[in-house]
Amino acid sequence: MLAAVSTIPSFPADMEKAPVPEKKSEWSYQGSTGPAHWGSLDAEYTTCTNGESQSPVNLREAETKRGSADVQMNYRPTSFTIKNDGHTILAEPENSKNTLTYEEEEYTLSQFHFHAPSEHQIDGEYEDMEIHLVHESAEGEIVVTAFMLQEGGGAFPSSFWDKMPSSETEAPASADNRLNLEKLLPFSETNFQYEGSLTTPPCTEGVNWIVFEEPAAVSSDQLADFQQIYADNHRPVQPLNGREVLKD
């Protein structure tokens, strides 16, 4: 009697394993994965350490020059999806109608998010919080408008604030009421402008920053609520390295 012959093909061991997707190194704001170590966590993060035009910075009034880029903000009431991405609370617009014109080029708002305390300093002083409104052009260029939040004297719209997910695993929320970002901006349009970077890995440079001098308001309860989620999610200020800072 002939022995049974297996018809199951044999493959080299390396062909039997499914490819494993490459995972980015995790980063945080504390300890061995905090800002001082970002540049060594992943090959794509080296700019965080080696970059010469990093953000945030200390904006010193005495070191600014008069002048400003041509900027026009075009914000409309919009619904936002609110997420906790493990690093911040982030809000994404449900349409592309919020735009900013910077030096005659149009940028579309892609998201805004929060830091506590503020990332930028003004004359060496931090504020309680900072909001970054991130805009991108069709070519992928980035302009970020930033303004501080100061405790007291008012509040951020509760219809938005009360829906912030408390953890990364919590489902995103949708703000029912349409939020008009224009009404959140500080009354004074005085701002600082400079070229910097993303303030989180990969710390990409070539980002144009517009930082409002006057803070907007956040209530004591709202500040405490955010700090319960993220007590400290700010990157320390980086060297200016001779960069020009304009003030209008």
Q: 149-189: per-residue pLDDT in tens?
A: 999 878 899 989 999 999 999 999 987 668 899 888 887 88
The pLDDT score that the predictor gives to residue 115 is 99
pLDDT at residue 210 tops 90:
yes
The pLDDT score that the predictor gives to residue 176 is 63
The structure's pTM equals 0.89
Other C-beta atoms closer than 10 Å to the C-beta of 72 total 10
Domains and CATH numbers, the chain: 34-241 (3.10.200.10)
The pLDDT score that the predictor gives to residue 20 is 42
Average pLDDT over residues 221-247: 98
Record the tokens describing residue 224, joined without a space: 């405490």
The pLDDT score that the predictor gives to residue 6 is 40
Distance from C-alpha of 47 to C-alpha of 124, rounded to nearest angstrom: 24
Give the CA dihedral 146, 150, 155, 160, nearest 10 degrees: 40
The pLDDT score that the predictor gives to residue 21 is 43
Distance from C-alpha of 234 to C-alpha of 199, rounded to nearest angstrom: 8
Q: 4-52: per-residue pLDDT in tens?
A: 434 434 434 443 444 444 456 799 999 999 999 999 999 999 999 999 9
Of all residues in the chain, what percent carry a pLDDT higher than 90? 79
Q: 84-127: per-residue pLDDT in tens?
A: 999 999 999 999 999 999 999 999 999 999 999 999 999 999 99
The pLDDT score that the predictor gives to residue 25 is 74
Query: Known catalytic residues?
Result: 87
